[in-house]
Structure 1
Amino acid sequence: MGRMPKKKSLTVRRVLVLLLAYIMLAVSGGVVASVLFVPGVIGTNKVAKAVIPSLKVENVDFDVTNLPQKSTMYASDGTTVIATFYNQNRIVVPLKKISKAMQQAVVAREDRRFWSHAGVDVQGVMRAFVQTYLIRGSQQGGSSLTQQYVKNVLLMQAIENDDSIAQYHATEDTIARKIREMLIAVQMEKKYSKAEILQGYLNIAQFGSNLYGVETAAQRYFSISASELTPIQAATIAAITKNPTKFDPLIEENQKASEEQRNIVLDLMAQEGYISQADAKKDKAIPLKDTLKVQQVNVGCQDTGDYAYFCDYVVHRIQNSEEFGKTRADRYKLLQEGGLKIVTTLDLDANSIMMNTARSTIPPDDPSGMELAMAAVKPGTGEILGFGLNRYYDATPEAANDATKSSQNYAVDLADGGGSGWTIGSSFKPINLIAWMESGHSINDNLQTSTRYATTDFACDRYSGGTDTWNVTNAFSSTVNPESPFLGLVRSHNTTQASMGTIMKLCKVADTATEVGYHDARTGETIDKTSSFTPSMMIGSVNVSPLTMASIFAVYASNGVQCNPIAIKKVTNGDGEELKVPSANCHQAVDPDIIQTLAYTLNQGVVRADGAGGSLQLAGGRKSFGKTGTSEDLAVSAGSFIPNQVATFVSVGDAQNPYTHRISNIRINGVYNSYWDGSSIASPAAKSFLQQYADKKQLPIDNNYGQAVAKYSASGTTLGIGGRSYSSRSSTTNGTTNSQGTTTQQGTTQQQGTATQQGTGTGQ
């Protein structure tokens, strides 16, 4: 049987046909429609016909300035970098901000005839063809800078669109891909100038491990901008792009190869007349490692140290805010690729003091395992100054096995990377006093109190009560009857809060809580839409974050101005356009006279011998304000402020397992207590932060804040449960009520209350 004739190699035939197409494109100068795509050519070139659909590039954005750029987060000073975010680490700059040496280095290395060809370097293509397919030497591409730019854009768009097929076609090692790039490159040269194309290439090309664009490379390797690059620095960067991983000069084992490649570029620059032979020789003699001045880059929140919790909160706010895009995916992409400049509200001093205070109060490795979370807000602005947590931020899987590390910020709401909230005990009670005054009552009315209340006594349009009762006691069985709302808050008595609730009803308390900015940490809902909407909420059986409470105490510190907490002051995109950011929506929420009277009461709770807040007194004669809280042995808290300057709130406990790991009969930071309360650990942390911050910032002392207004502090009548009036048996002087049956506590004994309702106990 005779041998069949040998078929001509399909590969050789394909190469010959495509080579003709290469040359035709280059010579035609891009007249694609009238030369290559005529029916006769297509009919004889099945390979070319196969790539025609991929040449429809109308939807590919070749705008040389529209590239993914890294975003940078700054502290409130607008200059201190907190973190950077990127899918591709890139900073886009115009050609005029790229040194001449850098432009020359990349042209010498990649495409020395760049300024003269029409998008395809015919000589380069012929050389590559002969070397690769005729003499079977090393494979060469012959790609012009324009073609390389096209390749990078197609790959980038494929990645952006999460299109794995397009990614494959953008990088496959085939002549079909080369043809496609050449076709588009010739068209690009018709639309863009050489300078625009070079600018695009210098901004899109990869110059190291996840380093894109010469500006990022210049900053990373030499701590300068691209406009300052010298020939030796430019040669180092230009050499990398041939193999960004192999020639990355920051990888120690790569430095020899990187230096060799740098020297090749210096020789090429000398050949093109960009530098002298003598300068090339001198630069080649300098070890590469001696030229580097590496700039460290914090990528994401993981590597930002004590800024990490604040950074993480800002990222969550961006992802949760419609101002930054319709969907979470859009917002994430904007952060990673939008070249944003994010100026936050972070006060470096406040954040540093809080983190140090948290860890010194309860060390991260303390055997108690207790967590401390605190937040601070600037009154009247909503600006979050920082957070304090007694943990080290770590979002890696390894953190799960290290109790000193966590990425969960228990100072904020669940949606923003926090937890389900803390019970705060008596720290809630100032809200009750605001509601009381808004209901038209005086803080010096005397109330008949009891230790047992029917829940129906608190009924209103949104709360009906039930058949159960609320059993309420004060700490150490210190029941006082009658007692004024003023003394009820000063001494932190639960029974008086309950009596107030039967008179003004629970809906009023809920409305006032909403008015000052309260919402549930787990659901984000107002209190009357949660399971906390029961009479015991008046003594803090709620689920709230320290940040929300710090914002509420900021209302007390700003004459009644309520602001939503904000962490972002200003955002500009890669084009320098300012974007809309979430608003603090600051507004007058509470009558200033009511706030002044409340502040007076909170101050009296600090300075009076029978007050519950003595541990919050600041030094230097500064008038002090605050309220502590104790939720049985589940958690303890404290809130305090310096008028118009700063408000803070602290919570302590086991945020994850409060019912199984209780804060009683336990040693914390070397100190044992059978009964821990807000004054013994939370308020010292709040006081320490405020004192250090006031000293650091030299905050002015305003001791005029907190003056009781007669309308809300006049002597009142004695009221019974439900508002029934009785003849007054008390007299009031300067806010101090001397009532029959009232006992004055000696010293600074803290009056903590406990209460139970359906098995739930809170107090202060």
Structure 2
Amino acid sequence: MFAARASGLVKLLGLCLTAGVLLAAMVFPFVGGLGLASNRAADTVDQTSGDLAKGELPLVTTIQDMNGEPIAYLYDQYRVPLESQQISDTMKAAILAIEDKRFYDHQGVDWQGIARAAAKAGVDGGATQGASTLTQQYVKNYMAFVLGADNEQAAWEKATEATIGRKMREARVALQLEQQMTKEEILTGYLNIVPLGNQTYGVGAAAKAYFKTTADKLTVPQAALLAAIANRPSSLNPGAAPEKALERRNVVIDKMRENGAFGTDQAEAEKKAEEYKAAPLGVVEDLQILPKGCVGAGDGPIYGFFCSYLLDYLRQAGITNKELQRGGLTIKTTLDPKATRAAKQSAEQQVPKTQDGISNVMSVVEPGKDKHRVRALVASRDYGNKAELGQVARPVPAEVLPFGPGSVNKVFTAAAALEKNITGIDRSIDVPAVYYSRVYPNGGAPWKVENAGKYGEKMTLTQALAQSPNTGFVILQEQTGLHSVVDMAYRLGMRETLQGVNRAGEPLKSDKSNGPSQGDWTKQNNAGSYTLGPGATSVLELANVAATIVSSGTWCPPSPVEKVLDRYGKEMPLKEARCEQAVEPDLANSLAQGMSQDTTGSGTAATAASASGWNRPAIGKTGTTEEHKSVAFMAATPQYAGAVMTYADGNRPEVICANPIRFCPGSSQGVFGGQVAAPTWFNAMKVIHEGLPVAPLPPAAARYR
């Protein structure tokens, strides 16, 4: 016992010396030169106190749709920052009663408390335990949950390590802080930062989560519970340990009474305290935690694909993960809830969300010469992590998928041929029933190409785009040059598809060790099948191609964001690709006229258009891969562009058949783009276009006819 007391006296002397050093440092800044702290350490302390005075805490980022309605939230710490007047006096009284009843009497460090803690060290050796003021706790929480937010556990251990050095740093910051902030500001800052369990930080979030109320309306029992679990949310979780939480809450109520929170009449104060202690915990059964991320927020199963694409886009545009998760940003997006719901309903109508191994995805883009706004990204499947329910947590409508769009690629051949004046939209092209290509050999022998239907020997380019003969476009690609066709596809919008992935649709590594890109591979291997669309593709990029064509040849990146505001409402710069004239307007407008017959007459999408009641001018092109494992439809009006792809998304893709949609291995009656993808487009777009005037397609230029 004597040795313990002697040790305690030594520690007491050390703490007294610390106190003197700290006081001297505040009055005589040059004391730092005595070797007790380096200039670097002093600068760190100054920086910390300055940051604390600013009060920049990790905040919730809100993602909004085009109408300003929240659709998702991002955060590391669920926090609702409050001003002092937004926090009840009851809450303030509760936290001061249990944590620092002398808060208004000290200047950041409680020397009496330090002395008591040092004396206690003579008994149990705990010289560095206790004696922390609310100001010091504010500093400690800031070190752990703001500066150390990337690794809170490690930061908390460092911020609470039982060393004299840590106490000295904490105390010095606290002393400086009291010179820079008022007591009310410090108290408010603490109540905004303190962890209160169940992902909540600060009393604003905790009041909503536990009691479905606001911090200015907290009752005594509610405020006492929050004060009870402050900094001890794990061991005093009211859900997991209600008895311990209740016991601690009642201790807080007693401390409030002792501190005069219930008046000066002792009998009346005791009566009130007993009434408060008799109240139940009152925590709501379903904690009101703000949904987090793309899976759980808003209409997650519907909006999640857009949200996921948005986050990838913003990261590439220069917004960091830290800014997204902690910056309190307001992200104003291009998402159209009406278009999204219509597209989702239509996609599911054609392919049920639980359909084994088959998915139906759709992307909608609004054309324009200054921006191509992404209005909807949906799939027949829900967005989510429950694979057993058919959910998927990737932005599949925007990804490059390992399946082809089929004959949709014939559009690129037509565009390149028009640009080289090899043909015009009203000029005839050869359409033999069978064609043997010697330009694109197959194992040394001529490549045999056949049509899927019966056609005349010749037809105009417009008729060919509507009826889709294979031989005519292979011949046209030979005449135009494969490189020109691939380059045209890139220019019109297939950029990630051709240069961002390899032949298998896998993203290219930074060193391109898994390359070459799909576009380079196609050129290097003289892959004449490109015009028939067997390779990986992006449904979003297909939609954007259609948008480029009806925007008179203006390509813009498909953008999901209007602007990003920081926590102060200031717009943040984004690194987005600039719009460019991909092809001259006359060419684009003429191509649009050439694609205008697919939805009418004998066009491959005409049946689907008629069944939906579609009666607007539109460009369109269906596509079906040779093995019928994927089909597509790309189309647009001057107001909206979109693309749909139905594909085998399971581990064992097979031939897909329609009516009903299913796998049919070995069948010769596989599905076509006009049977599933086109109906999805028309049924969705009919709703999306409601209330809009009928807009004509631009006229073709004489030189491209």
* TM beyond 0.5: yes
What amino acid sits opposite 1:553 in the alignment? A
Name the structure 2 match of 1:721.
Answer: none
DSSP 3-state at the match of 1:317:
helix
How far off its partner does 1:592 sit? 4.3
Name the structure 1 match of 2:187.
Answer: 198
What amino acid sits opposite 2:463 in the alignment? L
2:188 paired with 1:209: no
**C-alpha contact 1:484 1:496 (8 A) present in aligned 2:** no
Name the structure 1 match of 2:63.
Answer: 73
What amino acid sits opposite 1:482 in the alignment? K
Distance in 2 (alpha carbons) for counterparts of 1:662 and 1:135:
73
2:17 paired with 1:21: yes
**C-alpha contact 2:78 2:199 (8 A) present in aligned 1:** yes
What amino acid sits opposite 1:452 in the alignment? Y
**C-alpha contact 1:362 1:669 (8 A) present in aligned 2:** yes
Distance in 2 (alpha carbons) for counterparts of 1:53 and 1:7:
38
Name the structure 1 match of 2:48.
Answer: 61
Distance in 1 (alpha carbons) for counterparts of 2:289 and 2:701:
56
Q: How does 1:494-533 map to 2 (within 5 A)?
A: 494-521=470-497, 523-524=499-500, 528-531=519-522
For 1:311, which of 303, 307, 310 is the aligned residue? 307
How far off its partner does 1:93 sit? 4.2
Q: How does 1:684-699 map to 2 (within 5 A)?
A: 684-694=679-689, 698-699=690-691
DSSP 3-state at the match of 2:674:
helix
For 1:221, which of 199, 203, 210 is the aligned residue? 210
Deviations 1:453-502 (A, max 9, x none): 545499xxxxxx997644322114x2532222121112111222123223
Q: Which has the larger radius of gyration?
A: 1
Q: How does 1:232-247 map to 2 (within 5 A)?
A: 233-247=222-236
2:640 paired with 1:639: no
2:456 paired with 1:473: no
2:426 paired with 1:444: yes
> Residue 187 and residue 392 in structure 1: after superposition, are their counterparts in 2 closer, same or farther (change >3 A)?
same
2:480 paired with 1:485: no
How far off its partner does 1:9 sit? 6.7
> Residue 638 and residue 281 in structure 1: after superposition, are their counterparts in 2 closer, same or farther (change >3 A)?
same
DSSP 3-state at the match of 1:648:
strand
For 1:356, which of 334, 340, 345 is the aligned residue? 345
Aligned residues: 668
What amino acid sits opposite 2:520 in the alignment? K
What amino acid sits opposite 1:679 in the alignment? G
Deviations 1:372-394 (A, max 9, x none): 22211122232222222233334
> Residue 480 and residue 403 in structure 1: after superposition, are their counterparts in 2 closer, same or farther (change >3 A)?
farther
Distance in 2 (alpha carbons) for counterparts of 1:104 and 1:588:
65
Name the structure 2 match of 1:761.
Answer: none
What amino acid sits opposite 1:550 in the alignment? A
Distance in 2 (alpha carbons) for counterparts of 1:214 and 1:299:
19
How far off its partner does 1:628 sit? 1.1
Distance in 1 (alpha carbons) for counterparts of 2:645 and 2:678:
9
Distance in 2 (alpha carbons) for counterparts of 1:356 and 1:94:
44
What amino acid sits opposite 1:637 in the alignment? V
How far off its partner does 1:107 sit? 2.6
> Residue 12 and residue 423 in structure 1: after superposition, are their counterparts in 2 closer, same or farther (change >3 A)?
same
Alignment TM-score, normalising by the size of structure 2 = 0.82
Deviations 1:535-578 (A, max 9, x none): 32122233211111011122234343322111222212233322
Q: How does 1:518-597 map to 2 (within 5 A)?
A: 518-521=494-497, 523-524=499-500, 528-531=519-522, 534-583=527-576, 585-597=578-590
Deviations 1:501-524 (A, max 9, x none): 233333332332222111243742
2:379 paired with 1:379: no
**C-alpha contact 2:118 2:126 (8 A) present in aligned 1:** no
> Residue 375 and residue 259 in structure 1: after superposition, are their counterparts in 2 closer, same or farther (change >3 A)?
same
**C-alpha contact 1:83 1:311 (8 A) present in aligned 2:** no
> Residue 256 and residue 474 in structure 1: after superposition, are their counterparts in 2 closer, same or farther (change >3 A)?
same
Q: How does 1:27-426 map to 2 (within 5 A)?
A: 30-31=26-27, 57-58=44-45, 61-62=48-49, 63-64=51-52, 65-86=55-76, 88-95=77-84, 97-130=86-119, 133-134=122-123, 141-156=130-145, 159-160=148-149, 168-174=157-163, 177-226=166-215, 229=218, 233-249=222-238, 251=239, 253-274=240-261, 276=263, 277=269, 284=277, 286-289=279-282, 294-304=287-297, 305-306=300-301, 307-321=303-317, 323-324=318-319, 331-367=320-356, 369-380=357-368, 381-395=371-385, 399=387, 402=388, 404-413=390-399, 419-426=400-407
Distance in 1 (alpha carbons) for counterparts of 2:498 and 2:425:
33
Distance in 2 (alpha carbons) for counterparts of 1:422 and 1:670:
17
DSSP 3-state at the match of 2:226:
helix
Distance in 1 (alpha carbons) for counterparts of 2:467 and 2:554:
27
Distance in 1 (alpha carbons) for counterparts of 2:120 and 2:260:
27
> Residue 279 and residue 343 in structure 1: after superposition, are their counterparts in 2 closer, same or farther (change >3 A)?
farther
**C-alpha contact 2:630 2:656 (8 A) present in aligned 1:** no
**C-alpha contact 2:25 2:31 (8 A) present in aligned 1:** no
DSSP 3-state at the match of 2:630:
strand
2:643 paired with 1:649: yes
Distance in 2 (alpha carbons) for counterparts of 1:588 and 1:663:
39
Deviations 1:418-448 (A, max 9, x none): x544211111222333333333342121223
DSSP 3-state at the match of 1:475:
coil
What amino acid sits opposite 2:641 in the alignment? A
> Residue 541 and residue 407 in structure 1: after superposition, are their counterparts in 2 closer, same or farther (change >3 A)?
same
**C-alpha contact 1:26 1:122 (8 A) present in aligned 2:** no
Distance in 1 (alpha carbons) for counterparts of 2:170 and 2:603:
83
> Residue 606 and residue 166 in structure 1: after superposition, are their counterparts in 2 closer, same or farther (change >3 A)?
closer
What amino acid sits opposite 1:473 in the alignment? E
DSSP 3-state at the match of 1:350:
helix
Distance in 2 (alpha carbons) for counterparts of 1:134 and 1:611:
90
DSSP 3-state at the match of 1:580:
coil
2:601 paired with 1:608: yes
**C-alpha contact 2:94 2:256 (8 A) present in aligned 1:** yes
**C-alpha contact 1:520 1:527 (8 A) present in aligned 2:** no
How far off its partner does 1:117 sit? 0.5
DSSP 3-state at the match of 2:677:
helix
Distance in 1 (alpha carbons) for counterparts of 2:5 and 2:362:
75
Distance in 1 (alpha carbons) for counterparts of 2:670 and 2:124:
88
Distance in 2 (alpha carbons) for counterparts of 1:219 and 1:290:
10
What amino acid sits opposite 2:419 in the alignment? E
Point out where structure 1 has 5 or more consecutive residues left out of the alignment: 1-5, 43-48, 325-330, 414-418, 459-464, 714-764
> Residue 78 and residue 181 in structure 1: after superposition, are their counterparts in 2 closer, same or farther (change >3 A)?
same
Distance in 1 (alpha carbons) for counterparts of 2:5 and 2:438:
93
**C-alpha contact 1:488 1:494 (8 A) present in aligned 2:** no
Distance in 1 (alpha carbons) for counterparts of 2:237 and 2:39:
37
> Residue 439 and residue 258 in structure 1: after superposition, are their counterparts in 2 closer, same or farther (change >3 A)?
same
What amino acid sits opposite 1:475 in the alignment? A
Distance in 2 (alpha carbons) for counterparts of 1:709 and 1:261:
81
DSSP 3-state at the match of 1:426:
helix
**C-alpha contact 2:493 2:544 (8 A) present in aligned 1:** yes
Name the structure 2 match of 1:432.
Answer: 413
Q: How does 1:620-631 map to 2 (within 5 A)?
A: 621-631=615-625
DSSP 3-state at the match of 1:296:
coil
> Residue 138 and residue 169 in structure 1: after superposition, are their counterparts in 2 closer, same or farther (change >3 A)?
closer
How far off its partner does 1:631 sit? 0.6
What amino acid sits opposite 1:308 in the alignment? G
Q: What RMSD in Å do the two structures reach over aligned CA positions?
A: 3.9
What amino acid sits opposite 1:513 in the alignment? A
DSSP 3-state at the match of 1:490:
helix
**C-alpha contact 1:474 1:495 (8 A) present in aligned 2:** yes
Distance in 1 (alpha carbons) for counterparts of 2:377 and 2:187:
46
> Residue 37 and residue 183 in structure 1: after superposition, are their counterparts in 2 closer, same or farther (change >3 A)?
farther
DSSP 3-state at the match of 1:609:
coil
DSSP 3-state at the match of 1:343:
strand
**C-alpha contact 2:437 2:446 (8 A) present in aligned 1:** yes
DSSP 3-state at the match of 2:296:
coil
DSSP 3-state at the match of 1:118:
coil
Name the structure 1 match of 2:696.
Answer: 704
> Residue 671 and residue 518 in structure 1: after superposition, are their counterparts in 2 closer, same or farther (change >3 A)?
closer
DSSP 3-state at the match of 2:427:
strand
